[in-house]
Amino acid sequence: MSRSLKELARDDAFVKLVFEYVRNLGLIAGLLAVVMWLQRNAAPGWSGIWDQGVVIIAFGVAFVLMFLTFENLAFKVSKADIPVWMKGAVVVIYALAAIEFAKYFMR
């Protein structure tokens, strides 16, 4: 059975879950911002190799964190007691938010 938005807003566990995902997206976007800054400001010559190594590792960590967060969200949404269209909407909105966070911090 579907719950109204007002009921969901009063559910502490649900609200904490939503803000947990928003915080996770912010952390991932921040890590991607560091990656992009370091990529643009890498040192020239041989010392730049270390910068590029850090970029590769940090990007890999950000990718893994994004994957874990998205998979966790998809699992929780699949188990939730909400209509199918709402499940799809949650996943699409999360994916769009993740893309926008990344685009904002990668400028």
Q: Would you state the pLDDT for residue 2? A: 57
| Residue 30, domain member (yes or no) | yes
CB 73 within 8 A of CB 32: no
pLDDT in tens, 40-80: 888 888 888 888 899 999 989 998 998 898 888 888 888 87
- pTM, two decimals, is 0.71
The better pLDDT of the pair 55, 4 is held by 55
In a domain, 4, yes or no: no
Q: Residue 34 sits in which domain range? A: 13-105
Residues 6+ apart with CB under 8 A from 76: 17
Q: What is the pLDDT of residue 1?
A: 44
Q: Tell me the pLDDT tens digit for each residue of 85-95.
A: 877 888 888 78
Kindly state whether residue 88 falls inside one of the protein's structural domains: yes
83 lies in a domain? yes
What's the domain count of the chain?
1
Q: Is the pLDDT of residue 27 over 70?
A: yes
Which of 100 and 1 is assigned the larger pLDDT? 100
11, exposed or middle or buried, with CB in 10 Å at 0-12, 13-18, 19+? Answer: exposed
Terminal-to-terminal C-alpha distance of the chain = 43
* C-alpha to C-alpha distance for 52 and 88, rounded to whole angstroms: 37
